[in-house]
């Protein structure tokens, strides 16, 4: 993450764009201002395209990292079972790799199909209480989306959803913020 965003020694970190956007002239050897130019003042189509390509290349990794951090906080705060959290992380990671690879990867697809074979996993519909049949169509739906449909009753469920009872949620500590004093906010 450091190399993607902050590392000044890496030529294609976002710092190159940040520095060029706030300084008229940059002297860093990895991304100096071109002679007789000012950063982002005399920009041509190529410079803008390079900027947008870099931005769209890096942003997904930052967002994925944020999702993992937020999910870890959620799982820790609600005491999610470690095995369930691990399975969810494996599925997320595998789906991310499949999505970002941009090409067919038979080995990864085989791993995905192994995880979701009926010999290794069983899932029951929350509505009709029938077991899901892990046929080709169902596994494809799981692989390509985070939503999946019960083949029997049509209920749409979310892959990676955490099921917990209201009692568990009500027993957890509530976080309240007292902001009655603008200068001294505090947790209650």
DSSP code for 131:
B
Asked which of 47, 75, 103 is the last residue of a domain, the reply is 75
Q: Are residues 92 and 163 in the same domain?
A: yes
Asked which of 17, 40, 75 is the last residue of a domain, the reply is 75
Q: Are residues 88 and 41 in the same domain?
A: no
Q: Are 142 and 124 in contact (CB under 8 A)?
A: no
Model pTM score = 0.63
Strand, helix or coil at 187? strand
Instruction: State mean pLDDT over 100-124.
Output: 74
**Predicted local distance difference test score (pLDDT) of residue 79:** 81
Q: What percent of the chain clears pLDDT 70, i.e. is strictly above it?
A: 87
**How distant is the alpha carbon of residue 52 from its chain centre?**
20
Check pLDDT > 80 for residue 103: no
Asked which of 28, 48, 75 is the last residue of a domain, the reply is 75
List Cβ neighbours of 117 (8 Å cut-off, separation of 6 or more). 134, 139
Q: Are residues 13 and 94 in the same domain?
A: no
Domain hosting residue 34, numbered range: 1-75
Number of structural domains found in the chain: 2
If you average pLDDT over every residue of the chain, what do you get?
Answer: 80
């Amino acid at each position: 993450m450091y190399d993607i965003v902050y590392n000044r020694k890496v030529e294609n970190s976002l710092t190159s764009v940040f520095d060029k956007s706030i300084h008229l002239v940059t002297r860093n050897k990895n991304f100096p201002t071109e002679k007789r130019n000012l950063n982002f003042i005399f920009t041509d189509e190529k410079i803008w395209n390079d900027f947008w390509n870099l931005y769209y290349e890096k942003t997904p990794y930052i967002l994925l990292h944020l999702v993992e951090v937020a999910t870890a906080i959620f799982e820790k705060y609600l005491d999610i079972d470690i095995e369930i959290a691990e399975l969810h992380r494996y599925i997320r990671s595998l789906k991310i790799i499949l999505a970002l690879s941009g090409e067919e990867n038979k080995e990864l697809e085989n791993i995905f199909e192994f995880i979701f074979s009926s010999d290794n996993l069983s899932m029951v519909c929350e509505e009709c209480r029938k077991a899901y049949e892990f046929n080709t169509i169902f596994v494809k739906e799981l692989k390509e989306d985070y939503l999946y449909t019960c083949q029997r009753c049509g209920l749409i469920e979310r892959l990676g959803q955490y099921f917990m009872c209201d009692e568990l949620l009500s027993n957890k500590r509530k976080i309240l913020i007292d902001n009655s004093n603008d200068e001294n906010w505090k947790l209650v």
